[in-house]
Amino acid sequence: MLEALELTKAYETHVALRGLNLHISQGEVFCLLGANGAGKSTTIKLFLNFISPTTGAVHINGLDPQTHPEQTKSLLGYIPEQVALYPRLTGLENLQYFASLAGESDLCRQRLKEVLAQAGLPEAAIDRRVDNYSKGMRQKVVIALALIRRVRGLLLDEPTSGLDPQAAHEFSKVLRRLGDEGVAVLMATHDLYHARESSTRIGIMQQGTLIETFQAKEVSHLELEHRALESMR
Amino acid sequence: MITSPGIELTPAEQERQLQLQMSARSPDLMRFTGGLWWSLLPASSLAGHSVGVSGEWPDHYRHAGASMAQTVARVSRPNPLLRSVGAFDLTLLVGAILPLAVITLTFDVAAADREQGRWGLVRAHASSLPRLIISRCFVRVGALALLVIVLTASSVLILPTGQWDAAAVGNVLIWGAWLSAYMAFWATLAILSNALPLSASGAGLLLLLSWFITVIAVPTVVERVINRSERMSQQSELLAFEADVRRQSELEADEVWAEFREQHPEIQLDQESPQQEQLLRDMALSEVIRSRVRTRTEAYFRRFLNRDDVLDRLQLLTPLLAWRTAADQCAGTSLRHYVEFAQQTAAFHEEFLSCFEPMSLDGRELSLSDIQNIPQFDARQLQRRLHLPPLLLSAVSLATWIAACGFMARWCFRRNANQ
């Protein structure tokens, strides 16, 4: 579903990503770990077509986002590190607006409410303005957006940073559920604990190179921490 | 008598008018009663909205006895809208102030999302970013344009000059179409500024700079250039010329009289009536003066037309001039309209004066039927008409500017597709 082939991104002063090869199948939750500047966010931006690769290619369901931007966008959901919504709109109105941006404009209010509830947003918060929401609640609005659009790939850039343990736990559960529903998930994170809890496979990046990948269940929390710290040296 | 709604005679004038109508028996008395005959151009439904132009716009002339120059001199008559709301100019308001409202509504269409951290989410979900920015800009500008068009159309009903007839509906529709095109230019400019990876303040400054160039700088330069090359004719020049001609002709009065006698051998002078000879001498002299002034008046009108021609061509330089040209055409307040009406008035003036000549030559008193047969301008005047060439050139100018900004925006969208 999500595929990177010899993907390289070079800037004038440095190379952010070197020859990344990656394949994430449907139903797989892949976590990218690594120090700041290792190339995790660059990888996500390349999949989202926010930046163009220097060499190599990205494929989403077999399509290149550079040549098929609209089709690939319709397959992907995205949750940034800082989820900023329209503060004067309610959670429901934000969901309705972003869904309409993605072409889902004929959704009834009841359906929107159901999906927000499914994403874990408390019912009392649905009609409240978003400026009163916590980060976790804002994330749930964006998860609801992915649910309502029935995306086939989900890209997350450090989604659990700033979440309290309860919210992070709930978030991991939602990710696992999305994986079970066949969504291919690519998540960049520093959160080793939740990376192991929610993912099926983990990759560690160092200075733009994917140095190793392994199944999440193959390693203990301690070993994962050890490997991640090793990559940062 | 020529009377029309909208002209208010003073009580003294009304009294004189009545006296003349009831008791005038002398054609010469009728002929020289300057100020009691009027040529009127009914205000177009949108004329009230172009006060900036129509402040100088004569919509009526007072026929001044034998003087052509005095007749076509502008008569100041307060525009009804100007009288009720003070200095107000819808053409200027739409041309200069409305773009500022457009800038306020559109400068941060993309930048607000960028600066408040939503840009990533918006880009990831919007099926097409250019389409999103274009629709946001056009929805906001479209709502504004619609509001202005509805308010203007309503005001045509409310204003004292307003009247709803087929011509008014047509003019309002054309006015609305051109206003939409002018607003579309500003919307396209806003799209262009939003296609660049600029902050809200950067985009705002860029749009304000464009506004300054489009609305202030270029029109000012154009006006200076045109004032240098095609100077506006002054009424005083025409009046001074007529005074010179009159002075010169009076010096040649004997030659003029001799020529007149040669042309009219049939006239038998009554030796016992010196008034008759004096009357005919005056008539001959004023005939010569009119003939000489006519040539100068035509040149005077030609200068207005030349100026308008140059202005028409220069409207390609900025959408503001294109908009003003279209608004003037719809309101009937362009120089071309002025010249047309002045020419009609001058022709009527000639006809009006010449209608008394046979009666004066016959030496007979006016009958009731003579008075009824005095030419009436009201009965024949033409409606203000749209001049297609300047209107089409205005459309070409606006379309060119919209296309230029559109292509640049498209290029910027492609170049900054990933920003």
Q: Give the count of beta carbons closer than 10 Å to the beta carbon of residue B267.
A: 14
- Pick the more confident residue, B282 or B50: B282
- Pick the more confident residue, A13 or B103: B103
Cβ–Cβ under 8 Å, residues A84 and A34: no
A224 to chain B nearest CA, in Å? 30
Residue of chain A whose alpha carbon sits nearest to that of B122: A98
Host H or E run for residue A195: helix A192-198
| B369 at interface of A, judged by CB pairs closer than 8 A | no
What's the pLDDT tens digit per position in B287-343? 888 888 888 888 888 888 888 888 888 999 999 999 988 988 887 777 788 788 778
B204 to chain A nearest CA, in Å? 21
In A102-131, the residues whose Cβ lies within 8 Å of chain B are 102-103
What phi and psi values does residue A18 have, to the nearest 5 degrees?
-125, 110
Q: What is the pLDDT of residue B4?
A: 42
Q: What is the pLDDT of residue A191?
A: 84
Contacts of B128 in chain A (CB under 8 A): 69-70
Does position B30 have pLDDT exceeding 60, yes or no?
Answer: no
What b-and-e string marks burial along A42-58, b requiring 16 or more CB atoms within 10 Å of the CB?
A: bbbbbbbbbeebeebeb
Q: What is the pLDDT of residue B298?
A: 85
Among B116, B127, B418, the residue with its CB nearest the CB of A84 is B116
Nearest to A95 by CA among A80, A73, A117: A117
Q: What is the pLDDT of residue B27?
A: 54
Contacts of B418 in chain A (CB under 8 A): 49-52
What's the pLDDT tens digit per position in A122-131? 888 999 999 8
- Number of helices (H), then strands (E), belonging to chain A: the values are 8, 9
SS (H, E, C) chain B: CCCCCCCCCCHHHHHHHHHHHHHCCCHHHHHCCCCCEEEECCCCCCHHHCHHHHCCCCCEEEEECCEHHHHHCCCCCCCHHHHHHCCCCHHHHHHHHHHHHHHHHHCCCCHHHHHCCCHHHHHHHCCCHHHHHHHHHHHHHHHHHHHHHHHHHHHHHHCCCCCCCHHHHHHHHHHHHHHHHHHHHHHHHHHHHHHCCCCHHHHHHHHHHHHHHHHHHHHHHHHHHHHHHCCCCCHHHHHHHHHHHHHHHHHCHHHHHHHHHHHCCCCCCCCCCHHHHHHHHHHHHHHHHHHHHHHHHHHHHHHHHHHHHHHHHHHHHCHHHHHHHHHHHHHCCCHHHHHHHHHHHHHHHHHHHHCCHHHHHHCCCCCHHHHHCCCCHHHCCCCCCCCHHHHHHHHHHHHHHHHHHHHHHHHHHHHCCCC
Task: Name the residue ranges covered by the structural domains of chain B.
Answer: 1-419
Q: Is the pTM of this model over 0.80?
A: no
Residue of chain B whose alpha carbon sits nearest to that of A85: B118
The burial class, CB within 10 Å (0-12 / 13-18 / 19+), for B147 is exposed
Does position B38 have pLDDT exceeding 80, yes or no?
Answer: no
Name the DSSP class of A43: H
- Pick the more confident residue, B392 or B360: B392
Q: CA-CA distance, A110 to B48, in Å (whole number)?
A: 53
The amino acid sitting at B169 is V
Q: Give the count of beta carbons closer than 10 Å to the beta carbon of residue B322.
A: 30
CB atoms B121 and A98 under 8 Å: yes
Contacts of B123 in chain A (CB under 8 A): 48, 50
Mean pLDDT of B351-363: 74
Mean pLDDT of A165-179: 83
Q: CA-CA distance, A57 to A8, in Å (whole number)?
A: 8
Q: CA-CA distance, A71 to B79, in Å (whole number)?
A: 60
Does position B199 have pLDDT exceeding 60, yes or no?
Answer: yes
Contacts of B120 in chain A (CB under 8 A): 48, 50, 78, 80
How many Cα neighbours within 13 Å face the side chain of A178?
A: 34
Q: CA-CA distance, A184 to B35, in Å (whole number)?
A: 91
Does position B355 have pLDDT exceeding 70, yes or no?
Answer: yes
Measured CA to CA in angstroms, residue A227 lies from A36, A49, A110, A202 at distances of 16, 30, 47, 11
ipTM rounded to 2 decimals: 0.84
Pairing of strands A184-188, A29-34: parallel
Q: What is the pLDDT of residue B15?
A: 65
Q: What is the pLDDT of residue B26?
A: 54
CB atoms A76 and B116 under 8 Å: no
State which of A6-10, B239-243, B329-333 shows the largest mean pLDDT: A6-10
- Pick the more confident residue, B216 or B354: B216
Among B116, B127, B132, the residue with its CB nearest the CB of A74 is B127
Nearest to B334 by CA among B44, B11, B109, B5: B44
Fold adopted by A2-87+150-232: Rossmann fold (3.40.50)
Tokens of residue A206, six digits: 């160092």
Mean pLDDT of A138-149: 86
Q: What is the pLDDT of residue A149?
A: 84
Task: Name the residue ranges covered by the structural domains of chain A.
Answer: 2-87+150-232
Please tell me the least confidently modeled range out of A193-202, B214-223, B379-388.
B379-388
Contacts of A76 in chain B (CB under 8 A): 124
Mean pLDDT of chain B: 78
Among B121, B127, B128, the residue with its CB nearest the CB of A78 is B121
- Pick from A52, A86, A88, A101 the residue to mutate for testing the B interface (most B CBs within 10 Å): A101
- Give the number of beta-carbon pairs within 8 Å between A and B: 50
**Torsion sign, CA atoms A186, A190, A195, A198:** negative
> ∠B119-B120-B121 over CA atoms, to 5°?
90
Does position B418 have pLDDT exceeding 70, yes or no?
Answer: no
Q: CA-CA distance, B256 to B284, in Å (whole number)?
A: 7
Contacts of B121 in chain A (CB under 8 A): 78, 80, 83-85, 98, 142
Q: What is the pLDDT of residue B32?
A: 55
CB atoms A76 and B124 under 8 Å: yes
Cβ–Cβ under 8 Å, residues B418 and A52: yes
Does position B132 have pLDDT exceeding 70, yes or no?
Answer: yes
CB atoms A78 and B120 under 8 Å: yes
Spatial strand order of the sheet with A153-157 comes to A76-79, A153-157, A184-188, A29-34, A201-206, A209-215
Q: CA-CA distance, B39 to B4, in Å (whole number)?
A: 9
Tokens of residue B309, six digits: 């021609």
Mean pLDDT of B49-69: 58
Q: What is the pLDDT of residue B260?
A: 85
Among B117, B126, B418, the residue with its CB nearest the CB of A52 is B418
Pairing of strands A2-10, A55-60: antiparallel
Among B116, B117, B125, the residue with its CB nearest the CB of A101 is B125
- Give percent above pLDDT 70 in chain B: 72
- Pick the more confident residue, B126 or A204: A204
Within 8 A by CB and 6+ apart from B154, the residues are none
CB atoms A50 and B418 under 8 Å: yes
Contacts of B126 in chain A (CB under 8 A): 73, 101-102
What phi and psi values does residue B384 have, to the nearest 5 degrees?
-65, 135
State which of A54-58, B58-62, B250-254, B298-302 shows the largest mean pLDDT: A54-58
